[in-house]
Amino acid sequence: MTIKGSCHCKATTFEVSEAPQTVTQCTCSFCSKRGSLWAYYVPSQFRLTSPPENVSFYRWGSITVKHGFCSTCGCGTFTETPDWSTGKPDFDNPKISVNSRLFDDFDLDKVEVVVIDGKNLWWGKQPAGELCRPRSCSAFRRISCYNANGRADLARLQRP
């Protein structure tokens, strides 16, 4: 099922090939300010249907991640990133993170939100089971932060 998305002014339009199973809310300093709910795709599942020059990119930190936004209306649209699931950037496996809030005619409320505690996962360790510190998810208890290799996992959080 193709889903179309657009920024507020429609200068950026795009399509993804399927609906997300989950969307991700991240507590890192960038995502919490941007307010995105991320849906992850591989590049072949994503198609920009508007002129590429309408998209501006913001980079910070490691600068390996390109955060796209509309040059006109400022909506955060999609992010081009290497795969980070091993904890290191894998440039052979590029990913597109789409801001699912920009999906048109799609009921986001029916999709599970996975909270990842980017603020602590990437900038400091916190053991499993502790209450989350970030303000945005203080109502949730961390289930796991690190896998057996001590690597940052997607932290699934549940209400205590």
H or E element that contains 118? helix 118-121
Among 9, 42, 113, 131, binds Zn ion (CB under 5 A): 9
Q: Is 42 in the site for Zn ion (CB under 5 A)?
A: no
**Could you tell me which residues come within 8 angstroms of residue 158 by beta carbon, excluding any fewer than 6 positions away?**
140, 141, 143
- Which is nearer to Zn ion, 28 or 70 (by Cβ)? 70
Site string for Zn ion, 10-39 (x = CB under 5 A): -x----------------------------
The closest of 33, 6, 30 to 106, measured between CA atoms, is 6
Q: Is 73 in the site for Zn ion (CB under 5 A)?
A: yes
User: Among 24-32, 68-76, 106-114, 142-150, which window interacts with Zn ion (CB under 5 A)?
Assistant: 68-76
Site for Zn ion in 98-117 (CB under 5 A): none
Distance from the first to the final alpha carbon of the chain: 36
CB atoms within 10 A of CB 15: 14
Residues near Zn ion (CB under 5 A) are 7, 9, 11, 70, 72-73
